[in-house]
DNA sequence: GTTCTTGCAAAATATTTGCAAGACG
DNA sequence: CGTCTTGCAAATATTTTGCAAGAAC
């Protein structure tokens, strides 16, 4: 993604586009798969991990990225697909390969609608399917 | 649960019923909600956390307990509801209260059947719904 | 100059392993 | 005795915060 597109994306989400934040957004775009903090830290050698973390936290608050949990190996982050800056409504299942530890985005699939007992109120959900991916299939 | 029931449960899963393991199984039974390692460590003052961890790991390998991930606060463990000692086939959604950080078991609900792309092979899945529980509801 | 951002260090949290002593058979 | 189990310590890994220096406005 071009720098100017990153800037626009940040601004659309009311985030001041600092140099570091632009780099983080680019790194997220550049990789097809959701990234962990450690992976981003490795790919972006120029920025300290605490700042990558702070950028991601800020992005989450502004619904520019969302976090994916349940991979056994830390939280992963991906850009929100929807352009709704108010809600994180583009949740979808993910697939975690237990061999290569990659996380794939199953964004063609709908999240199931689970009926909750009286009094429970849902805000978000994470569906993580684990197994082996085509590359690691025996 | 009585001690002899715990022993039987362990033996059914081909696990040697040592004193510590019985205590861990009892602690898991005693609490309605899936427990984290830290919670178990707190409840079972007499056993070191490394051993609780090793017991849980062993139990998982023998499909006596299963792990629930995606709660933001560590892995939680619960006894498998099914008595199938070969497969961990009693997966069901869970609910994580973001206020009190309790994890509830939605075992009345079915896990959705997500169609995977060619070449992907599922082994297990975790569905974690987050929000607020009845106690913490405003 | 006040506020925001950054880098570095380090605290906090969670998970896992090494190893020697002890229990078990 | 040989194997399994246990407790303690400590290594790893991950996430998060404190703080002072620097940049931005």
Q: Over the stretch A116-127, which tens digit does the pLDDT of each residue have?
A: 999 999 988 889
Query: Among A93, A115, A118, A126, which would you mutate to test the B interface (most chain B Cβ atoms within 10 Å of its Cβ)?
Result: A126
Subunit contact B128:A123, Cβ cutoff 8 A: no
Subunit contact A128:B131, Cβ cutoff 8 A: no
Q: Nearest CB to B109: which of A106, A114, A129? A: A114
Look up residue B60 and give its two tokens: 């998982």
pLDDT for B86 equals: 60
- Enumerate the residues of chain B whose CB falls inside 8 A of the CB of residue A77: none
Adjacent-strand bridge partners of A51 = none
Instruction: Kindly indicate the confidence band of residue A63, based on its pLDDT and cuts at 50, 70 and 90.
Output: very high
Percent of chain A with pLDDT over 90: 68
Q: In the complex, which nucleotide's C1' lies nearest to the CA atom of residue B17?
A: D5
pLDDT for A85 equals: 60
CA B53 to chain centroid:
12
The stretch A9-35 carries a mean pLDDT of 94
The stretch B76-91 carries a mean pLDDT of 74
Tell me the whole-structure pTM to 2 decimals: 0.88
The residues of A between 26 and 85 with beta carbon within 7 Å of nucleic strand C are 46-48, 50-51, 54-55
pLDDT for B72 equals: 81
Q: In the complex, which nucleotide's C1' lies nearest to the CA atom of residue B18?
A: D5
Q: In the complex, which nucleotide's C1' lies nearest to the CA atom of residue B46?
A: D7
Other beta carbons within 10 Å of A118: 5
Checking if the pLDDT of B90 tops 70, the result is no
Cα B44 to Cα B6, B37, B41, distances in angstroms = 16, 10, 5
The stretch A129-138 carries a mean pLDDT of 88
What are the residue ranges of helices labelled H in chain B? Answer: 3-12, 19-30, 37-43, 49-61
Checking if the pLDDT of B138 tops 90, the result is no
pLDDT for A24 equals: 97
- Enumerate the residues of chain A whose CB falls inside 8 A of the CB of residue B121: 131-132, 137
Checking if the pLDDT of A93 tops 80, the result is yes
pLDDT for B121 equals: 93
Instruction: Kindly indicate the confidence band of residue B71, based on its pLDDT and cuts at 50, 70 and 90.
Output: confident
Classified as helix, coil or strand, B58 is: helix
Long-range contacts of residues A107-110, Cβ cutoff 8 Å, at least 24 apart: A107/A81, A109/B114, A109/B115
What is the distance between the alpha carbons of residues B64 and B84, in angstroms, rounded to a whole number? 9
Q: What is the mean pLDDT of chain B?
A: 90
Q: What is the mean pLDDT of chain A?
A: 90
Q: Nearest CB to B95: which of A112, A116, A128? A: A116
Cβ(B96)–Cβ(B71) below 8 Å: yes
Instruction: Kindly indicate the confidence band of residue A2, based on its pLDDT and cuts at 50, 70 and 90.
Output: confident
Q: Nearest CB to B128: which of A95, A106, A126? A: A126
What is the distance between the alpha carbons of residues A70 and A36, in angstroms, rounded to a whole number? 12
What are the residue ranges of helices labelled H in chain A? Answer: 3-12, 19-30, 37-43, 49-61
């Amino acid at each position: 993604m071009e720098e100017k597109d990153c800037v626009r994306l940040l601004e659309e989400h009311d985030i001041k586009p600092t140099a570091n934040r632009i780099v983080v957004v680019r790194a997220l775009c550049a990789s097809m798969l959701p990234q962990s903090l450690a992976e981003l830290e490795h790919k972006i050698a120029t920025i300290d991990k605490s700042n990558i973390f702070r950028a991601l936290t800020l992005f989450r608050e502004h619904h520019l990225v969302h976090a994916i949990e349940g991979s056994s190996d830390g939280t992963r982050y991906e850009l929100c697909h929807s352009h709704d800056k108010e809600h994180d409504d583009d949740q979808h299942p993910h697939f975690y390969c237990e061999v290569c530890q990659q996380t794939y985005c199953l964004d063609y699939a709908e999240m199931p609608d689970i009926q909750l007992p009286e009094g429970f109120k849902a805000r978000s959900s994470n569906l993580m399917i684990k197994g082996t991916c085509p590359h690691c299939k025996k």
